[in-house]
Amino acid sequence: MTDSSPDRINAISLGPEDKRALLERFLRYAKTDTRSSETSETFPSTQGQWDLLRMLEGEMRELGLAEVELDEKGYLFGTLPSTLPPGRDAKVVGYLAHVDTYPGTNATGVDPQVIPAYDGRDIHLPAASELTLTLAENPDLARCTGHTLVTTDGTTLLGADDKAGVAAIMTVCDWFLNHPEVPHGPIRVGFTPDEETGNGTRFFDVKRFGAYAAYTFDGSLLGEIEEETFCGDSAVVTITGKDIHPGVAKGRMVNALRVAAEIMGRLPKGFLPETTEKRESYLHPYVFDGEVGRANLRFIVRGFTVEELRVREEDLLRVAREAEEAFPGAKVDVLIQESYRNMKVVLDQHPEVLNLAIEAVRRSGVAPVRSYIRGGTDGSALCFKGLPTPNIFAGGVNFHGLQEWVSLEWMAKSVETGLHLALLWAEKGL
């Protein structure tokens, strides 16, 4: 008879074969280019996301998940059935991750570098002689001596944001299906598209998903549980100039590109991503396109409170007015749209959702770290759709860049956290 005593259950950990399967999953997912696109008119916004979603759909069915469904908008849901004995119930809990990767960094031809038993020294990225992961710039590497690390080759992002989370969730399902003696309640699994463009929950049907609470596995460092996000808005600045042949332009041309440069130059230097940290708010210009007659600037605006958000937006509106005045004949329009709000407002009303995640991290043998995100997750929007959703670490570091890396041991602890979390929801009878 298999031992399913509390001591046995509390000692759950991944063995070498489990970790090997976890690594293989992550590498397989990482090699699929799933960059999302802000300019696409389709949803999901790119074919690569469909490719990974269909791969995951097949793997979910092969593992034995129930109610596997990939809908026309690219939301992939499935159910890990309860193993509780008759008469015992637990609320349905959701585990979520997004399949797309950041659109601004190359993800074609991802060729991960696997480093077994990392020796604690700087790491050379093999396809980019000018790029090295140094301990000086990456102090968290010092925590990973002896780990199996996965890095980029220096020419692409890695995709740990959020394929580490996807791999962790699939490994949770695989482990439970191979250990039916371990009692847990029903888990709804969900993989979403287009999180990186801010559209991850645009068509997410909370009622159809059917969970009481959920957790995104979309965080970074070991042990972190993120309960707070920025409030986020987007802004599009449209500049209309006057184009004419430069040979007869005196007193007649209004160059929209120069107006854009004026706006960029007037942005408050103390409130940019590169000059702020911790709970400081910022304005971030991240896309520019145009020509003499018309130009566009795209911004994201971030602050932990709506009041801070409004201050940064007033900065942008003021700068736009000043630039318009500096170039008579130019027209500068600013369109601001809401993206998401700080999920802490909702999570504070559901303390048990966060507390069980904290205890799950602790039971996995890791010190929990309550943290906040200088950004957002799908959970930000889902909280305000009625599904309280904090964020759990998945082990990746340096998201969105060529120097992205992940620790297999940290990913494994994310899996163990997911296992213990399911047990806790059943144990508490919530």
Catalytic annotation, residues: 100, 195
Task: Please give the Cα distance from 40 to 131 (Å, whole number).
Answer: 32
Tokens of 334: 């600013």
Decide if 395 contacts 217 (C-beta within 8 A): no
Decide if 83 contacts 187 (C-beta within 8 A): no
Decide if 250 contacts 394 (C-beta within 8 A): no
- DSSP character string of 395-429: SEESTTSTT-EEEHHHHHHHHHHHHHHHHHHHHTT
Residues contacting residue 224 through CB under 8 Å, at least 6 positions apart = 369, 371, 392, 393
* Beta-sheet pairing, 149-151 with 123-124: unpaired
- What is the CA 273 to chain-centroid distance, rounded? 18
- What is the CA 291 to chain-centroid distance, rounded? 33
Task: Please give the Cα distance from 321 to 52 (Å, whole number).
Answer: 45
Instruction: Write the CA distances from 170 to 18, 138, 275, 293, integer angstroms.
Output: 11, 29, 38, 51
For residue 331, the SS3 value is strand
**Residue of 125, 285, 100 whose CA lies nearest to 201:** 100
Tokens of 368: 């929990």
Q: Which amino acid is at 127?
A: A
